[in-house]
Chain A
Amino acid sequence: MYEVVTDDEVARQIRALPDELVPYYLQVLDLLELTPWSGEPYNDAKPDGAMRKLLFGPAGRAEVIYLVLDHDHDRRVELLRVHWIS
């Protein structure tokens, strides 16, 4: 189980999510707590990179970009940006 956390700026992005994306985003949270490495790499040139992204919502119109920190004492997901197409 990973601890999923973020900062105030990303929290503002999350609050601004359109209503129809909210249920999908909540499922993203569940997923990230369990299998954050299942996201795609932020840059495909670094397939094992800690910076990842996940598409969500209808037709994958939104995405979350995040870091995975995978240490024995600290299994954490840091959300870096939530972005969507209006």
Chain B
Amino acid sequence: MADDPGVVRGRSGSMERYRQVVSAESAPPPRRPQSEGFPRSATPRAIREALLPEETGQFDSEWRTAMSRSAERLDLAEVYTVLERWRAIAALTQADPQAHRRMLQRAELVLTGQDRGTITADDMREMLAHRLG
């Protein structure tokens, strides 16, 4: 599988079993699919305008903090980090704003104990089994 470009990536260092199956150290680093289709040159205003109102408060808070620290340090690295992070979320939002809104709403319901998924992993496996070669 050394040439298999497939990956399952999350936090580094914890995927050894899966690297054996689906990953290769030589594979190109995974792109962030959320940020595909959203221009790298997007301004902070454009990024903010692409977000749902539910998330603009968090963006504003992080933006102000990063700008303040960057002014003190004379280093814009933190600002760029914040923009890249939110550019990805903005792109994910714009890919399907209603799905994104429902995702945030459902997350809130699940975290407050008001919702619980009823479709299990085994259900999902069964749903997909016939599509395996």
A residues within 8 Å of B by Cβ? Answer: 3-11, 13-15, 17, 19, 22-29, 31-33, 35, 37-40, 43-45, 50-63, 65, 67, 69, 76, 78-81, 83-85
Contact = CB atoms under 8 A, between A and B. Distances in A.
Interface string B72-93: 0000000001100100010010
Given A83-B34, A83-B95, A6 B8 contact: no
B46 interface: no
A76 B9 CA distance: 20
Interface in B49-101: 58, 62, 81-82, 85, 89, 92, 95-96, 99-100
A50 B111 contact: yes
7 contacts: A9-B99, A13-B99, A14-B124, A65-B103, A67-B107, A69-B110, A85-B31
B6 A35 contact: no
A60 B106 CA distance: 25
B110 to A, nearest CB: 5
A5 B107 CA distance: 13
Interface size class of B (residues with CB under 8 A): 35 or more
Contacts of B58: 43, 45
B53 to A, nearest CB: 16
Given A6-B119, A60-B33, A24 B124 contact: no
A55 B8 contact: yes
Given A7-B115, A17-B128, A45-B85, 13 more contacts: A5-B118, A11-B123, A24-B22, A27-B22, A55-B8, A55-B9, A55-B30, A58-B5, A59-B28, A61-B33, A69-B111, A81-B100, A84-B33
Contact of A63 (B14, B21, B33): B33
Contact of B31 (A7, A14, A59): A59
Interface pairs A-B: 4 shortest CB-CB: A60-B30, A5-B117, A39-B10, A38-B14
Contacts of B10: 31, 38-40, 52-55
Nearest to B96: A83
